[in-house]
């Protein structure tokens, strides 16, 4: 049994975030009629629809996609349909390629003159060695905020703005519900559940508490 897989499947999202942050980022956009969302949760597509966008949602978690009536996608490749949309909201939970590669792909696929919201995990300040070691194992590629800005410009984007996901997106929006779900699961499935999995989740939450000023998701608002 995949302990964390079961937990994430029953949660609203599988990475830090919140409806408030989605609304804040949306308020920083300059309009448009058609939007494409590509990410791990269904809250942002609902916020976009509420704002009047015609939204197509591609969700990388099967359970959440089914609940939202959205398309489930396994691939993390940038969809060709991005070229048809005024706004393309790309919210990766973890990067498997360097931001420069991802940004180049986004520039090739996005609509000329359209807006791309690119969310990626960034170092906000110089991280401690312990943080680097832990976060690379957990999240994969993490790039300093300023280097992503530079990569976006080199890819041909005009950088309009950016927004740093607040601490509450991690604590209230992710770790508290995740740890509560883990406790409930262990109570119901005591014989099957692994205490090791629970310790790993708590270790991750504790790491963020200790080093929350060093890293977070950053939403880059880019003009194609």
Q: What is the pLDDT of residues 175-223, one digit of tens each?
A: 999 998 888 877 776 655 556 678 888 999 999 999 999 999 999 999 9
State the Cα angle at 71 between 114 and 42, rounded to 5°.
75
Residue 74 has pLDDT above 90, yes or no: no
Element spanning 176, H or E: helix 176-188
User: How high is the mean pLDDT of the chain?
Assistant: 90
3-class secondary-structure state, position 193: coil
Q: Count other C-beta atoms under 10 Å from residue 64's C-beta.
A: 24
What pTM does this model have?
A: 0.92
Burial (CB count within 10 angstroms: exposed 0-12, middle 13-18, buried 19+), residue 30: exposed
The contacts of residue 153 (CB under 8 Å, 6+ apart) are 159
Q: What is the pLDDT of residues 82-119, one digit of tens each?
A: 999 999 999 977 777 788 999 999 999 999 999 999 99
What pLDDT does 57 receive?
93
Query: Could you tell me which residues come within 8 angstroms of residue 93 by beta carbon, excluding any fewer than 6 positions away?
Result: 14, 15, 39, 40, 60
What is the per-residue DSSP string for 90-146?
EE-SSBSS-HHHHHHHHHHHSPTT-EEEEEEEEESSPPPHHHHHHHHHHH-B-EEHH
Distance between the two ends of the chain, CA-based, in angstroms?
43
Between CA 11 and CA 54, with CA 172 as vertex, the angle to 5 degrees is 60
């Amino acid at each position: 049994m995949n302990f964390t897989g079961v937990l994430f499947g029953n949660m609203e999202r599988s990475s830090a975030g919140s409806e408030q942050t989605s609304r804040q980022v949306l308020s920083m956009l300059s309009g448009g009629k058609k939007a494409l969302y590509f990410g791990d949760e269904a809250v942002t597509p609902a916020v976009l629809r509420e704002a009047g966008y015609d939204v197509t949602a591609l969700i990388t978690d099967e359970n959440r996609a089914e609940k939202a009536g959205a398309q489930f996608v396994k691939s993390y490749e940038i969809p060709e349909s991005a070229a048809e949309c005024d706004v393309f909201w790309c919210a990766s939970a973890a990067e498997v390629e360097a931001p420069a590669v991802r940004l180049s792909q986004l520039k090739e696929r996005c609509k000329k003159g359209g807006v791309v919201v690119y969310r990626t995990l960034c170092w906000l300040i110089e991280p401690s060695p312990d943080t680097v070691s832990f976060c690379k194992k957990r999240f994969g590629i993490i790039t300093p905020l300023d280097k992503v800005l530079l990569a976006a410009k080199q890819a041909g984007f005009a950088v309009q703005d950016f927004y740093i996901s607040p601490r509450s997106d991690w604590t209230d929006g992710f770790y508290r519900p995740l740890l509560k779900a883990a406790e409930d699961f262990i109570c119901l499935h005591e014989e099957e559940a692994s205490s090791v999995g629970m310790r790993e989740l708590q270790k991750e939450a504790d790491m963020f508490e200790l080093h929350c000023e060093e890293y977070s998701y950053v939403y880059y608002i880019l003009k194609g």
